Structures are given as structure tokens and as C-alpha cells.
Amino acid sequence: MSDLTGKVAIVTASSRGIGRAVAKRLAQDGAAVAVNYVHSADKAEAVVQEIEAAGGKAIALKATVAQRDDVQRLFDEAEQQLGKVDIVVNVAGASVFKPHVQLTDEDFDKVFSVNARGAMYMLQAAANRIADGGRIVQFSTGGTMMPIPGGGIYAASKAAGERFAFALAKEVGDRQITVNVVSPGVTDTDGLIMGEEDVAQLVQQTPLGRLGQPADVADVVAFLVSKDAHWMTGQNLQVNGGIL
């Protein structure tokens, strides 16, 4: 476990799933955490209460990463209530899975507004507002490396976030800020829309022999935002039990 005492973290999409595990892990390591949500106010509040019950500090903040004003307000409120931000983990993601020939303009707007435009806003705000020596983590997917039928639009939109992150790593390195990408493999959350048979098949192909859990991914994020990861930037970590 690393020591994040005195650090302030914003974790987007942390009312549920992997984001929730990341928020809880960073709080366990000592960071004060802004738990971000869009619709799940009750779930975000429950995450805050779990963190506080364990002796940590957290607040819940509503904002969609897809709106520039919301992202600015997210940083304003986190700064006002917790202090200057040291760690930004942009977990938020939207997905559409369907064959390419069936894709609509609405599908495009749904995934690109969160995965591409949202990543642009979050990484811009992070670069402008984070303390020198800070840590930025952008979430992507193993799907940008391993094409799957029906996964084209999701992978394309996530690839935009990766590319923003890699360029930003070169732009803020002189401030000793690291920017890395975490790409989960199939992970057991509400966002997992595969049937049991497909999941069983994937588990069979996974060298480590099981389905990923949110905490498996949170452990890697905890390392990336720690002091020990100071010499790693512009990397894409595949966190997937070895399937890729």
C-alpha cells in the first residue's frame, strides 16, 4: 500500500464499478477523494459513507465529463472543499456494441461525447489545475488492441482518449506530472453486457483463469498514482489477467 496522505484526488464515474473501487482504494491509501457521478447520487453518497466509516475523507460531486462547464465546476468544487488537486483518474466511459453497418449518429454522439470529448475536457482541466508532480490516469479498454466484432465504435472513441493522454504526457513532463492510460480487460461490473457463455469462454482464454474484478484494476491505478511510479509516463497498462 502506498501513502497518499495529504493528497487530493478526483475520480470520475466512481459511484459504481471500477471507479468506485479506485475511489475506495485511493482513500484507503490516504487521499481525500472527490467521488464523481451523473445519475447515481445514492450510490455515490454510499461510497462517501463507506470511505468515511473507514476513517477516510470524501465528497460526492455531480458532473458529466461530456460538458465543459460541468468539468470546470467539478474541479472548482473539489478544490474549494478538499484543496489543490494532485491526482485525476478519468474512469468515465460510455459504450455501444453493434455491427458497423448498424451504427447511427446517436450511437456516435453517445460514445464520442464521453470517451473522446469528455477525455479532452478532463485532461485539459487536469493539466491546467493539477499540482506539479501530480498524477493523471485516463481509462481506455483492451478493445483498442484486440478488435472484436461490434466493438469498433467503442474502441475508436477510447483510442481518442489514449492519444490525448500520450500527447499530454509529453506536454506536462517538465512539471513532473505523469499521464498514463489504464486499459481494463473484461471486468465484473454493471457495464459488463456479455452473456454467461461468452464470459466463460473469455475466462478460459485468460492465463490467470478468472474474470477481472474492479479491485484488480484499482490496485494498478493505486500504483500509477503513487510516488513509486514517478518514472512512468505515457504508458498504456493492460490490466486483464493476461488475455491480450
Ligand X SMILES: NC(=O)c1ccc[n+]([C@@H]2O[C@H](COP(=O)([O-])OP(=O)(O)OC[C@H]3O[C@@H](n4cnc5c(N)ncnc54)[C@H](OP(=O)(O)O)[C@@H]3O)[C@@H](O)[C@H]2O)c1
Q: In the set 78, 186, 220, 229, which binds ligand X (CB under 6 A)?
A: 186
User: What does each C-alpha distance from 133 to 10, 104, 177, 178, 186 come to in angstroms?
Assistant: 15, 42, 5, 7, 31
Given strand 32-37, what is the order of strands in its sheet? 57-62, 32-37, 8-11, 87-90, 135-139, 178-184, 236-239
Does residue 17 touch ligand X according to CB under 6 A?
yes
The C-alpha cell at 74 is 467539478
Does residue 16 touch ligand X according to CB under 6 A?
yes
Catalytic annotation present for 154: yes
Does residue 19 touch ligand X according to CB under 6 A?
yes
Taking residues 44 to 73 in sequence order and writing x for each that binds ligand X by CB under 6 A, - otherwise, the string is --------------------xxx-------
- Of 217 and 229, the one with the shorter C-beta distance to ligand X is 217
Does residue 191 touch ligand X according to CB under 6 A?
yes
Taking residues 128 to 147 in sequence order and writing x for each that binds ligand X by CB under 6 A, - otherwise, the string is -----------x-x------
Binding positions for ligand X, rule: CB under 6 A? 12-13, 15-19, 36-40, 64-66, 91-95, 114, 118, 139, 141, 184, 186-187, 189-192
Catalytic residues: 154
